Amino acid sequence: MKKSVNDYVANCESCIRNKHSNQVPPGLLNPIEAPDKPWEEITFDLITGLLESEGFTAILTVVDRLTKMVHFIPTTNEANGVDVANLFLSYVWKLHGLPRKTISDRGPQFTSQFLKRLHKRLDIKPSFSTAYHPQTDGQTERLNQVVELYLRHYVSHRQDDWVGLLPLAEFAYNNGTNASTGKTPFFANYGFHPRFAVGDKEGQGLLIADDHAEWLQKGYDELKAALTVSQERMKEYYDRKHRASEAIKIGDSVWLDNRNIQSQRPARKLSAKRIRPFKVLAKVGKHAFKLELPHTLKVHPVFPVALLSLKKEDPYERDPPQPPPEVTPEGDIEYKVEQVQDSRRHRGKIQYYVKWLGYNEWTWEPYEHLSNAKEMIADFHRRHPNALRHPQVPKPPRT
């Protein structure tokens, strides 16, 4: 009896949609392998929302994944793909050459067609973080917090002099010991610490060229080993608070966590925790999947496994059978509306939030598409007299 009750509750659609999960999130950490040489792989991101300083309103941060050396580049909130490419040419390429791989979020500056074509021409592999999964680009995200903290300490009361502080912030960061590598980014790149104060003595007894090159290569190997150990520790800590993900495969249906989806309901606190099962179209990497989303859901269709839960077959067959659409005398396909739940104004038109008979689908539809549901719309307005009403829907008579 207990097993039957547990199975019944575990497959209850309303419970799945609305109950908060008390399990640790699925998806174990899968660290990106450390590169072999400096500036082979870089990450970059934009810090926006700053007050204007010398004509700039944003900072492009670029980080080498091996040595952790950074460059802080002033730019604007409106920077596009062409601007990012020019900044890279002016501030990074001239110093370090072309990378083999770049990692960034899915900001429009980094996913533009221009940059895609440029990457292809230059044989650079771009990699983008999955929607709502910043761990992919976690290195740059953490760096951004450090930059903001530094500027917060030293910026003037008017906060309009931060551009002049960027060179100091960059030097301070590159000359500080990195927790992952155990070395400063300067030393990891060049094999010596720069002179930065009056009275500093020049480096004692520089090695001859061949020995210095061999010493640098040994240093890079040590850096890679240190990063690997750091990643293993990070994975161990991360995995303590996560569980192995479910065996999701192409063709399965999955529930999508609603935390990052804009809700159309009045209060998010009372909105469903998960939204309808979506079909899995493809596996992306090791921990993300591409879903078949409706055109009304304006988000990137690739999601990390932490936001997905497998829809299991209900042994009690509570999934309603999906009836075939009706065919009108004119030969048009027509689906039946089961329920009208809300109304809104969208782009100047009144739309209604409807559920289709036999489907777990709720969609926003313009009044003109609901000619077979006029009585249901009228009933909705009788129950909700203050809801937005289409001009062609008659008002109920006053009593």
The 10 Å Cβ neighbour count of residue 163 is 18
For 171-198, give the DSSP string: HHHHTSPPTTTSS-HHHHHHSSPPP-ST
DSSP secondary structure code for residue 74 in this structure = E
Among 163-167, 352-356, 357-361, the range scoring the smallest mean pLDDT is: 357-361
Query: What CATH code is carried by the domain that includes residue 339?
Result: 2.40.50.40
For residue 86, which of 71, 77, 99, 73 has the smallest C-alpha distance? 73
Whether residue 343 has pLDDT greater than 90: yes
Alpha helices of 19-112 — where are they, by DSSP H? 81-88, 94-96
Whether residue 198 has pLDDT greater than 50: no
Q: How wide is the angle at C-alpha 251 spanned by C-alphas 10 and 301, nearest 5°?
A: 90
Whether residue 30 has pLDDT greater than 60: no
Residues 61 and 89 in one domain: yes
Residues 150 and 271 in one domain: no
DSSP secondary structure code for residue 315 in this structure = T
Query: What CATH code is carried by the domain that includes residue 93?
Result: 3.30.420.10
Residue 118: inside a domain: yes
Structurally, the chain folds into a number of domains equal to: 3
Q: Which residue has the higher pLDDT, 109 or 101?
A: 101
Q: Is the separation of the CB atoms in 141 and 134 below 8 Å?
A: yes
Q: How far apart are CA 280 and CA 19, in angstroms?
A: 23
The mean pLDDT of the chain is 75
The amino acid at 240? R
Residues 155 and 224 in one domain: yes
- Average pLDDT for residues 294-298, to the nearest whole number? 69
Whether residue 377 has pLDDT greater than 90: yes
Residues 305 and 215 in one domain: no
Residue 239: inside a domain: no
Residues 360 and 270 in one domain: no
- What sign has the CA pseudo-torsion 141, 147, 150, 151? negative
Q: Which domain holds residue 358?
A: 326-383
Query: What CATH code is carried by the domain that includes residue 13?
Result: 2.30.30
Percent above pLDDT 70 for the chain: 64
Q: Which residue has the higher pLDDT, 246 or 368?
A: 368
Residues 112 and 226 in one domain: yes
| Chain segment 145-170, per-residue pLDDT in tens | 777 777 877 777 788 889 988 888 88
Residues 358 and 258 in one domain: no
**pLDDT value at residue 350:** 92
Q: Which residue has the higher pLDDT, 75 or 4?
A: 75
Residues 81 and 218 in one domain: yes
Percent above pLDDT 90 for the chain: 16
Name, of 32-41, 132-141, 194-203, 324-333, the range with top average pLDDT: 32-41
Q: Which residue has the higher pLDDT, 304 or 1?
A: 304
**pLDDT value at residue 149:** 74
Residue 395: inside a domain: no
- Average pLDDT for residues 251-260, to the nearest whole number? 80
**pLDDT value at residue 352:** 93
Residues 69 and 8 in one domain: no
Residues 143 and 116 in one domain: yes
Q: Which residue has the higher pLDDT, 6 or 344?
A: 344
Burial label, 316 (beta-carbon count in 10 A; 0-12, 13-18, 19+):
exposed
Residue 319: inside a domain: no
Residue 29: inside a domain: no
Residues 136 and 256 in one domain: no
Burial label, 158 (beta-carbon count in 10 A; 0-12, 13-18, 19+):
exposed
**pLDDT value at residue 327:** 44
Residue 135: inside a domain: yes
**pLDDT value at residue 107:** 76
Q: What tokens does 295 get?
A: 């055109």
Q: What tokens does 54 get?
A: 């010398």
Residue 249: inside a domain: yes
Residue 125: inside a domain: yes
